[in-house]
Amino acid sequence: MDETMMNIAESNRANGAGGMGARLLRELIRTPVFLEIIKSTLRDLDPDSARQLVRTLMWEDAELSLSLIGSVPQIINYMGAAGLELGKQMKNFPPALLDQYVPQVLGEINMDTFKAYPEVYGPLFDSMKVAEAVPVFMGMAVNMGTGLVINAAEKNPNFVGDALSQVNGRQVLKAGFAIIRSGLRWMVSGVKKLLKRGK
């Protein structure tokens, strides 16, 4: 194993660091002991340990925490590319297998955690004055969401009913009113600009 790791390190130095993780993982996966470690670790994952990990990383070493925060864009881009590739590779699985496991996996996701994101990150974004960037991300999210809706509607005639059964009506109303208010302000601002130009 040590000789294999040395060969990987030498290859990385010769060819650059890109893809180092994939090459290293490829070698480790071939080791039964390592596979058992991965399975055991994944089985023991829980939200409380994630919270403890974040608190430890954030407050044990200030320099490390700032480095991690600075690496957030790279981490998000990495996870985004990984998620996209995962979707592409899942197309190679038999549909019957996906129908059996995907609903089960989605059903085990704790959506309450994600519902708390706006409450936690909203004030944080306000304090950091990043409101200007929010519309850009919202536009990107809408474009991505509409693509998903089109694909889902083509495959499931009852898509709208199934989707609405999972929707929080109160949250939708709040978001709708927020969009209407923003739209009215945009219209008023446009009218004011036209009137100023007319003068």
Q: Would you mind telling me the total number of residues written for the chain in this entry?
A: 199
What local confidence, expressed as pLDDT, does residue 130 receive?
Answer: 59
Contact partners, residue 4, CB within 8 Å, separation at least 6: 27
The residue that leads in pLDDT, 14 or 64, is: 64
My answer on whether 136 and 121 are in the same domain is yes
Establish if 144 belongs to a structural domain.
Answer: yes
Establish if 143 belongs to a structural domain.
Answer: yes
My answer on whether 146 and 184 are in the same domain is no
Task: Report, in this order, helix, strand and coil percent for the chain, each rounded to 5.
Answer: 85, 0, 15
Q: Residue 95 in contact with residue 103, Cβ under 8 Å?
A: no
How many domains are contained in the chain? Answer: 2
Establish if 131 belongs to a structural domain.
Answer: yes
Quote the domain boundaries for residue 197: 168-199
Establish if 72 belongs to a structural domain.
Answer: no
Is the confidence at residue 132, as pLDDT, over 70?
A: no
The residue that leads in pLDDT, 13 or 88, is: 88
Question: Per-residue confidence at 20, pLDDT binned at 50, 70, 90?
Answer: low
Establish if 14 belongs to a structural domain.
Answer: no
